[in-house]
Homo-oligomer: A and B are copies of this chain.
């Protein structure tokens, strides 16, 4: 969805969500039959049972959940639907798991346009089809006007792990290098500039995108992956801090290797933000042994079309801390933010 169309409304229809759509009766059934099934129909969902019964091909799985409350719900580069499925796909991908099954639970505010709902569901379906995941079970609740904000979405996901690597923060080792999958800060800067009414000649778009495709490529190419982390709330700095704390090792990065595009720099300057703390929805870091680092950056760049680069390393020193050599050569501690910076960014 481009910048031109932040809130698509089909003029033929102005049907709105009513409280009864969440009541479990005929209106709920109408919504399932006329809105959900035409978009998501598959052998699991169509049974309309209390849950989906699934035969898994392997026994090792990853399981993840996220709710999405982003405001505004339509933004350049995506919408809450695309965000809600890429977010959970990415959480599974960060476990090295191939995403297969997604649950979709909606909390709708009375009065929400059904046409907007359909557009959001179509966004979800497009990503699902690209990655090969199925929405197999779902739920819809409706809250009174003034007790929500249009639409909140929860997705949970199941992915299967088909390799023997143990991809997690505890697996990183001193000497490992950190590969960043692209420039940072686009998603947060996009949402905030929309909210604050900042306009640009050159349009800025969220980086919102699924990350299973590059992760699958790394696995298929035999990269020894120690840890993966997507750079959502809290941005690059939060992800690095989590790795430093979980592994009880030090993280050292060099600012000159962390790309930030001019538009993001401009928004951050106006709003007093540091791109190192701004949320992304389609960027991740891979921590790999030194000998795999160049290959890792090359594969990610090829698959995503975005330049990937080595930004730093894991070290014995300064356990639990993240240090950064700044552009002017000084070394700075990158601490967690307290968290007030960017509410409702995802």
User: Are B229 and A50 neighbours in the complex by a CB distance under 8 Å?
Assistant: yes
Chain B residues with CB under 8 Å of A146's CB are: 146
A116-169: which have CB < 8 Å to B? 136-139, 141-144, 146-149, 152, 154, 156-159, 161, 168-169
CB distance from A64 to the nearest CB of B (A): 3
- Who on chain B is nearest to A229 by CB? B50
A19 within 8 A of B: yes
A25 to B238, CA, bound (A): 7
A23 touches B54 (CB 8 A): no
Residue among B59, B158, B343 making CB contact with A59, cutoff 8 Å: B59
Which residues of B lie under 8 Å from residue A24 when comparing CB positions?
Answer: 232-234, 238, 279, 339
Bound together, the chains give a CA A147 to CA B343 distance in angstroms of 13
A136 — which chain B residues lie within 8 A by C-beta? Answer: 63
Chain B residues whose CB sits within 8 angstroms of the CB of A63 once the complex forms: 51-52, 54, 101, 103, 136-137, 158
Shortest Cβ distance from residue A24 to the other chain B in the assembled complex, whole angstroms = 3
Nearest to A168 among chain B residues (CB) is B49
In the complex, the answer to whether B51 meets A94 with C-beta atoms within 8 Å is yes
Task: Determine if A55 is an interface residue (Cβ-Cβ < 8 Å).
Answer: yes
Q: For window 40-55 of chain A, which residues contact chain B by CB distance below 8 Å?
A: 47-55
**Measured between C-beta atoms, what is the minimum distance from A197 to chain B in Å?**
18
CB contacts (< 8 Å) of A238 on chain B: these are 24-25
Contact of A50 (CB < 8 Å), options: B64, B161, B340:
B64
How far apart sit A61 and B54, CA to CA, in the bound complex (Å)?
Answer: 5
In angstroms, how far is the closest chain B Cβ from the Cβ of A225? 13
Q: Is the CB of B50 within 8 A of A94?
A: yes
Does chain B have a CB within 8 A of A39? Answer: no
In the bound complex, what is the Cα–Cα distance between A92 and B53 (angstroms)? 9
The segment out of A5-13, A65-73, A172-180, A293-301 that lies at the interface is: A65-73
Let me know if A318 is at the binding interface, CB within 8 A: no
Binding site for B on A (CB under 8 A): 18-29, 47-69, 90-92, 94-95, 97, 101, 103-107, 136-139, 141-144, 146-149, 152, 154, 156-159, 161, 168-170, 229-230, 232-234, 238, 242, 246, 277, 279, 336-344
Contact sample, A vs B, 8 pairs, CB 8 Å cutoff: A23-B340, A25-B337, A49-B168, A49-B169, A51-B159, A63-B101, A65-B103, A141-B344
